[in-house]
Structure 1
Amino acid sequence: MRTTDQTPSSADTSTDTSAPAPAGTSASASAASADEVVGIVAAIRRISRRRLRGTVPGPMLRGTQLELLRLVETEPGIGVAAAARALHLAGNSVSTLVNQLVERDLLHRETDPNDRRAARLRLTEQATTRLLDWRRARSQLITVALDRLPPADREAVAAALPAFRRLITELEVTP
């Protein structure tokens, strides 16, 4: 049985995950907290992908491919240039991702009726099903893990979610 002070992966070397550094702490404490947040998020994503590998049919998708599919899901008809801006990627990189996903029958690329040079992106039925299956499997995996935590830890995770949403907003607007 895991104790609450163990890290999620043997590759992680952090020792105290109890609370973020309070406001007004030194820059080095903030940097350490930032490194720990990034490490924890990366570990959760890596472990989730590894544990779910093979549970969702179809070839493995890279992180950027999944990000593009999620973006197209939330913004059907988005153009390649707008997707590149939203993902903070070069246009040619997104074009390559689009080509890969079209070849796998996960994206439809349609000509923009207002600008014949531009393309509009939409998910295929296969992509929609795959994203739904992935979310269900991931949700079940995380729910089971959360349920094994002590109630105080579950409450702490839930209480931290609004702060993580604000952090995402700050990261999106920070130059």
Structure 2
Amino acid sequence: MSLPRGDELMAAVLGLRRVVRRRLREQLPGTVPLRGAQVELLQLVEREPGIGVAAAARGLHLAPNTVSTLVNQLVAADLLCRTVDPDDRRAARLELTAAARERLARWRAARTELVTAGLRTLGADEQAVLAAALPILDKLAGTLDELPVPVTRSPEEAR
């Protein structure tokens, strides 16, 4: 068996993600779409209520000023609540609003329903292959997160 090409794997994963996001927008009309980084921040705050902005930036591998911008956007959209840290009044703690919890729950339920319906159209062998691939994809994600970041220079810089 040959090694799958990285670009083919990513095309398949991103294609699946794109279709799911488009179908969810159709299924949940009237919901203002959120960007990927906004959703990731909401999911992080859901997992770690009270997380600070700096810790969220580290957890998302984003610059602190980028996370601050996301926080401001989500506070303005009434999806995130920012409170002063009682131990360090210069720092903020982040919590989901009720609207964010409800939105994430609706989105998750709709996504699960959509993907489960799609999985049911596959044969048993195809379902088994996908089920077997899940821990491998998780392992690959962890491995990629640990790899040193190569510095790629443009052709102009190489001269």
**TM-score bin, normalised by smaller chain:** 0.7 to 0.9
The superposition leaves residues 76-121 of structure 1 with CA deviations (integer Å, 9 ceiling, x where unpaired) of: 1111111111111111111000000000100000111111111110
User: 3-state DSSP class of the match of 1:115?
Assistant: coil
* 2:131 paired with 1:141: no
Residue number among 122, 125, 135 corresponding to 1:162 in the alignment: 135
> 1:168: how far off?
1.6
Q: TM-score, normalised by structure 1?
A: 0.80
Residue number among 64, 70, 74 corresponding to 1:91 in the alignment: 64
> 1:54: how far off?
3.9
Specify the alignment match of 1:26 in structure 2: none
Structure 1 vs Structure 2: percent identity of aligned residues? 54
Specify the alignment match of 1:64 in structure 2: 37
Residue number among 34, 54, 57 corresponding to 1:81 in the alignment: 54
Specify the alignment match of 1:116 in structure 2: 89
Q: Which has the higher helix share?
A: 2
Specify the alignment match of 2:152 in structure 1: none
Gaps of at least 5 residues in structure 2 are 149-159
Specify the alignment match of 1:37 in structure 2: 9
Distance 2:134 2:32 in 1: 31
Moved more, 69-78 or 53-62: 53-62
CA RMSD of aligned residues (A): 1.3
User: 3-state DSSP class of the match of 1:59?
Assistant: coil
Distance 1:119 1:54 in 2: 35
Distance 1:83 1:173 in 2: 18
> 1:172: how far off?
2.2
User: 3-state DSSP class of the match of 2:117?
Assistant: helix
Specify the alignment match of 1:100 in structure 2: 73
Distance 1:92 1:54 in 2: 32
Gaps of at least 5 residues in structure 1 are 1-19, 22-29
Aligned residues: 147
Distance 1:119 1:110 in 2: 5
The superposition leaves residues 62-81 of structure 1 with CA deviations (integer Å, 9 ceiling, x where unpaired) of: 11100000010001111111
User: 3-state DSSP class of the match of 1:109?
Assistant: strand
The superposition leaves residues 128-158 of structure 1 with CA deviations (integer Å, 9 ceiling, x where unpaired) of: 0100100110111100111001111000000
